[in-house]
Amino acid sequence: MKHAILITTHNNEEITQQLLKAYDDENIDFYIHVDKKAVHYKHDLIMNVCHKSHVYFIDALKIYWGTYSQIESELVLLREATKKEYDYYHLISGCDIPLFTKKDFLNFFEDNKGMEFVEFSPEEVAIENKVIDRVKYYYIFMNSIRNTHTILRKPQTFMRETFLKFQKVLNVNRIGNQQFKYGSNWFDITHDFAKYVIELQKWIEKYFKHSCCGDELFLQTLLYNSKFSKNNYYDLPKEERKIQLGRYVDWQRGNPYTFLEEDYEEIINIHSSFFIRKFDYRKDSKIVDRLFQNLEGGVMNEI
């Protein structure tokens, strides 16, 4: 089986460098999107790391949190990677570390070939957080608010919020009766589903270009309303799943929490996710180096 690991990043080159070393394999290639704003990104740390894998840098976009640019970067990565037709496409960030050795990772997907790995948050969580409002209304000035000086942001933010209130008064609903679902933006999906997503790019743009944080809705919505929904691994009973969630993230201690060396014992006892996030090499390089040393020695967590 062939795998494409899609990385969206803007820093922590040292983590990506060590990931490429750990997962260098003739069955794994890497597609990397570096935020165009990250002008100081050290590409040279990544360029000649792999001896078996191919590493591709994708044409860069400027990425702004909460905007359509996040979805756009995922689509760019998928479009480029699907040209070579891999069995699986795995989206991670530049601050993620694998929890399993390369061998265990490859074996797991061989054993579960054809399954989709897309996380859905419980319906009550989506309702409580008013997630549907992210696509129900039009969000204006999303990119420019993120891209301008603080002084200029204030009037734009005011106009956006005023426009939102105006839409609510008028009962605007630009999605009709369509069902939208919500969950983590990170995924592990098959080639057939990846192609299906790309083919629906116009639909994605129509409903998400003027959304807020739509990257946590578009893939779940597409999967839920497609024939591929019957193959979602996370719909299996918990007792039948070796993996509970694809990415282990701590939202209790941070937004999300950045793991440190003091968390080492906790990390090595996690057996239910492919990757753990997040880490910051400049904040604590020791925990990063230690975990990758484990991977290199083949003593990381076992599925």
DSSP conformation class of 90: E
Over residues 181-189, mean pLDDT: 97
226-274 pLDDT per residue, tens = 999 999 999 999 999 999 999 999 999 999 999 999 999 999 999 899 9
The answer to whether 274 touches 188, Cβ cutoff 8 Å, is: yes
Domains of the chain are 3-125+180-297 (3.90.550), 128-169 (no CATH)
- Helix/strand/coil (H/E/C) assignment for every residue in 179-198: CCCCCCCCEEEEHHHHHHHH
97-126 pLDDT per residue, tens = 999 999 999 999 999 999 999 999 999 989
Look at residue 299 in the predicted model and tell me its pLDDT.
58
For residues 292 and 94, what is the distance between their CA atoms, to the nearest angstrom? Answer: 14
At 98 the three-state DSSP class reads strand
- Is the pLDDT at 160 greater than 90? The verdict is no
49-77 pLDDT per residue, tens = 999 999 999 999 999 989 999 999 999 99
Pick the more confident residue, 3 or 148.
Answer: 3
For CA atoms 189, 190, 191, 193, give the dihedral sign. negative
